[in-house]
Structure 1
Amino acid sequence: MLSSELADLAGVTVRTLRHYHQIGLLAEPPRTSGDYRQYDVGHLVRVLRITRLTALGIPLSALPEVLDDPTAAEELLDQLDHQAAAEIERLSARRANIDVLRRTGAPLDLPLELSAAHAEPTQGVPDHMARFEREQLVLVAHLLGEDGAAGLAALLDVPDDSRTALTTLTKRFYALDADTSDREVEALIEDWVEQIRPLVETAEVISSLDPLGAELLDQLGARNLSPMQHRAMHMLQQRLETDQPRAQRRPHP
C-alpha cells in the first residue's frame, strides 16, 4: 500500500509517517519502480501500536524501548499514572477556580484570592477608573506573591460599615480635578487615613513591596489618574508611611 493508503487506514497523516521514519520509529519500506514507498500490513500494525501508546501519553522518545521490550512498560506506566494524577489535580483546581469566578462575577484577569473582595466595581465609579482599580490589584497581587495576595485579600475584606465609608471616600477621590482646592484634598486625605489606619496597623502587606514594586504602582497611577488624583495618592502614601512604626516602613530607593 502507498503512504496515503497507510495513513488513511491508521488515522494519521502522511507527514506523521515521514516523521516516524526520520526519528527511527518506523522502518523505511522498499520502493516501487516508480520510487513510491510500498508499505505492508506490518507497517500498519507498527503505526497502530505507536498511536495507541502515544494516546496513553507515552512520549515518542520512549517508544522505541517500549515497542521492542514489553517489560519496559511497567515502570513507564507508573510514571504515566503519576503524571495523570497530577494533571487531574491541576484540572480539578482549575475547575474550582472557574466555579469561584462564576459565583463571584469577578473579572477573569483578577487573581482568585481577590475575587470576593472585588466582585463588582464600586457603584458610580467611571469605567476607566474601575479598570484602573482592577489593574492595580492585578499588579499588587503579582508583586506580593501568593502569600502576600492572600494577606491583601484579608485586608480588603472589611465590614459592611467600613466598606460603605471607603466607597464614599473613593467617590470623593475620583471627583478630584484641577479645580479642587488644597483644603478639600487635605480633608480627603485626613478622612482616608482615619478610616484605614486600623487596617494599616495590622497589615504587613503594606510594607512588603520593594522599591521597584512601588515605582511600578506609581507608574500605573500616573498613566490612569489625573494630576490631582496622582498627587493625592502620593500624599496618602506619605501619611501612611509617617504613621507606620519605623520597623514597618517600606524602604525608599
Structure 2
Amino acid sequence: MNALPHLLVVEDDPELRLMVARLLRQNGFEVSVAGEAREATALLRQRRVDLIVLDRMLPGESGLDLCKRIRRDSAVPIVMLTALGEEVDRVVGLELGADDYVTKPFGSRELIARIRAVLRRGAGARPDELRPPRALVFDGWRLDPATRQLRDPDGALVVLTGAEFDLLHVFCRNAGQVLTRDQLLDLTRGRSASPFDRSIDVLISRLRRKLRREAGQTDLICTVRGGGYLFAGTVAA
C-alpha cells in the first residue's frame, strides 16, 4: 500500500497550526508541524516531505526567506499561507519559488483542493498522458518527463519546481505556437482561471533565468505583444 503524502505545516500561530494539521489529517495526509524556520529545517533534514504549507510571517527567519533557502537545492512543492493578499505580496512569494498561494482567512475545501492540485502537478503525467513519456531536447537542453528532470547542455541538473517543470513541458510540446496566459493556466493546472493573474508571468520569469546561460543570450521564451508567449527553441524527441 502506498504511503500517505507527508506534509509539513510551518505556522507560528499554535491554534491555526493545530487546526490546519487536524484538517489535513482528516483528509488523508500525514502531517508534521513546526512553529518557526529552524524547526522546519531540522524536520526537512530528518525525513522526506512531499509538500510544505508555509506561513509567510514567521518569527526570526521569515517564510519568504525560508522558501528562498529551500529553493536553492530542493523542488519540494510549497504552498504559501498568509494574511497578506495584495498582488505584490503574492508575486513576491511566487518569485521566490512558491507553487501556490492561499490567503487567510481561507476555506478548508480551498486549501485541500490547492494542496491536492500542487501534488498532482508534481506527481508526473496527467491521466490523458499515459503513453510512455519521451525525453525532449532543445538547443542542447534535455527535459525528461519520466524523471521530471532538466539538464543543461553541459549535462548538469537544473532544479525545477513542479510548476516550472509543467510549464516548460507545455512550452516544449507546443514549440512555435503562441499560447495565451489562459491557455497556459489550463494546460498546466487543469483550470482556465486563477486568482493569481500574474502567476504565469512569474513562472516564466523564473524559467527564463534558469534557461539563460550567458549574458545577452536570446530568451527561448518570447513575449508576444497582446498575444501571450511563444517557445522559440527547436524541440526534438
Fold in common (TM above 0.5) = no
- TM-score (normalised: structure 1): 0.29
The structure whose RCO (Cα within 8 Å, separation 6+) is larger is: 2
Higher helix share: 1
- TM-score (normalised: structure 2): 0.31
